[in-house]
Every structure is written in structure tokens, then in C-alpha cells.
């Protein structure tokens, strides 16, 4: 009985194998064929399908997340910086504007009205000689009072003990210095308020930088410098 059962199992397995592999199809025994030929007609250029390399895969991933992309691949934006120069008076501004219009692309530059506020200095001087200035420097060091070189030839030879945005701030600083033993300092206005136009180039890239030499003669000796943080934030 057991042998018969084993024989039936073997025959059943052989029959199932033949049925699933189409060996019994000529006798009318075969599984139903699953086919959707219409899907083949819907394919568009299947011969163009190719497997991407790991490098191409990374480039494609970057393109998907990058705001700047062409042809499906990421393009790194050109680094830029904000530069400015000034202030320029009315005559200088007219000359500079004419040069800019003929040299640089529209929108790459702007002339803005700006004000440089008055500045106040705690000042010591004028002295009779450089030796007198050096002697005073030694005295200030002994009193632990800091000082700076002057950038105003009209005040030479002399010393600056600090520059401030208002006379009140300068008076307060001088009072503190006096408590340390400094008796000959005074508060002066080192710079009057200046109004004019400031040149700003909000996004200077390598191509634009190469064109800036053409406008240097019209900058009236003023150099292009990085925009101040507050000014640069306004352009972003």
C-alpha cells in the first residue's frame, strides 16, 4: 500500500511538472497564458533604455535637488560677491554714470544715494615734531591708554584716542580717559557729514570682474570694497 502511495506521488509530481512547463500542451493540458500585447505597443523607443553608471546616477540625483540644472545634470552656480565704492559728488557721479552705461551690462550696477555721518574724535595734538608724538605715545602706554595713527594729514602730527559716531559718545570717552591722567586731549569733529552717490555692484562674478578695470579711471581714486553686511543683505 505504501509503495502504491509513493508511486502515485511521483506520478503526480511528474504530471504537474509537465503541465507547468507546457509538455502536455499537445494533449490539451497547459496553464492559461498571461499576455498583454497592448503594453508592447505603448512603449516609446525601448531601444534607448540604458543602465546609468554610478557617477551618472549621482549627477542625476544632484540635478533633481539642485535649483539650477540643464540637460538633466546639475550646474554649479558661479560664485559672486557684492562690491561698492564711494561716495561720489554730483560731478563725479555724472562722469561715472556715463562710463558705466557704456561699459557694463544694465542691471549689473546701481548708483544709490548715501550718507556718511559726521565723526568725532578724541584728539591730542598738534605737536611740534615727530619726537614729541613718540614721547606722548610712551606716556599713554604707561597710563594704559590706547591710541591710533591718524588718517587725516591736516591733524598731523597728532594722535587719535578714538573715533565716535556722536559728540556725546566722544565726550564720554574723553571723560574716562581724563580719569586715567590724560589732561590735554580734546574732542574735535574729524569728519563732517557727507552726502553723495555710492556705486554698488550686487553680484560680481569672474566675467564682470574682468570688466572693472575699464571703469577705474572714473572711480576718482576710490577703491571697490566688499559691501557692508547690512547693504549686502538688502540685495539678497
Range of weakest confidence among 13-17, 39-43, 182-186 = 39-43
Dihedral in degrees, nearest 10, Cα atoms 170, 176, 181, 184: 10
Please check whether residue 101 lies inside any domain of the structure. Answer: yes
* Residue 175 neighbours by CB distance under 10 Å: 10
Q: How far is CA 198 from CA 90, 117, 143, 225, in A?
A: 11, 14, 41, 12
pTM: 0.48
Looking at the structure, tell me whether residues 131 and 182 fall in a common domain: yes
Query: All 3 cell numbers of residue 79?
Result: 560664485
Query: All 3 cell numbers of residue 107?
Result: 542691471
Q: pLDDT tier at 86 (50, 70, 90 boundaries)? A: confident
CATH number at residue 157: 3.30.70
Q: CA 193 from chain center: how many Å? A: 31
CATH number at residue 87: 3.30.70.2750
Quote the number of domains for the chain.
3
Whole domain around residue 99: which residue ranges?
81-116+194-234
Give dist(CA 49, CA 36) in Å, integer. 21
Looking at the structure, tell me whether residues 129 and 89 fall in a common domain: no
Residue 163 three-state SS: strand
Please check whether residue 57 lies inside any domain of the structure. Answer: no
pLDDT tens readout for residues 106-146: 899 999 999 989 999 999 999 999 999 999 999 999 999 99
Residues in the chain: 236
Give dist(CA 21, CA 101) in Å, integer. 82
pLDDT tens readout for residues 182-220: 999 999 999 899 999 999 999 999 999 999 988 999 998
Looking at the structure, tell me whether residues 183 and 199 fall in a common domain: no
Give dist(CA 77, CA 68) in Å, integer. 7
- Phi, psi (rounded to 5 degrees) for 227: -60, 145
Give dist(CA 122, CA 160) in Å, integer. 6
Q: pLDDT tier at 65 (50, 70, 90 boundaries)? A: low
Amino acid at each position: 500500500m505504501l509503495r502504491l502511495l509513493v508511486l502515485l506521488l511521483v506520478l503526480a509530481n511528474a504530471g504537474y511538472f509537465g503541465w507547468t512547463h507546457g509538455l502536455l500542451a499537445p494533449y490539451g493540458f497547459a496553464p492559461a497564458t498571461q499576455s498583454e500585447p497592448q503594453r508592447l505597443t505603448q512603449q516609446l523607443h525601448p531601444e534607448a533604455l540604458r543602465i546609468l553608471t554610478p557617477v551618472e546616477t549621482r549627477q542625476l540625483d544632484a540635478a533633481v535637488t539642485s535649483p539650477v540644472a540643464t540637460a538633466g545634470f546639475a550646474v554649479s552656480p558661479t560664485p559672486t560677491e557684492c562690491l561698492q565704492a564711494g561716495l561720489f559728488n554730483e560731478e563725479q557721479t555724472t562722469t561715472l554714470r556715463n562710463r558705466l552705461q557704456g561699459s557694463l551690462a544694465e542691471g549689473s550696477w546701481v548708483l544709490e544715494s548715501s550718507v556718511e555721518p559726521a565723526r568725532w574724535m578724541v584728539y591730542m595734538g598738534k605737536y611740534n615734531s615727530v619726537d614729541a608724538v613718540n614721547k606722548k605715545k610712551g606716556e599713554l602706554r604707561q597710563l594704559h591708554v590706547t591710541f591710533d595713527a591718524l588718517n587725516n594729514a591736516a591733524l598731523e602730527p597728532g594722535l587719535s584716542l578714538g573715533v565716535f559716531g556722536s559728540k556725546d559718545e566722544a565726550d564720554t570717552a574723553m571723560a574716562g580717559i581724563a580719569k586715567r591722567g590724560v589732561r590735554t586731549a580734546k574732542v574735535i569733529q574729524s569728519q563732517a557729514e557727507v552726502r553723495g552717490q555710492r556705486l554698488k555692484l550686487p553680484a560680481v562674478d569672474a566675467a564682470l570682474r574682468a570688466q572693472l578695470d575699464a571703469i577705474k579711471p572714473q572711480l576718482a581714486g576710490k577703491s571697490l570694497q566688499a559691501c557692508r553686511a547690512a547693504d549686502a543683505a538688502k540685495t539678497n
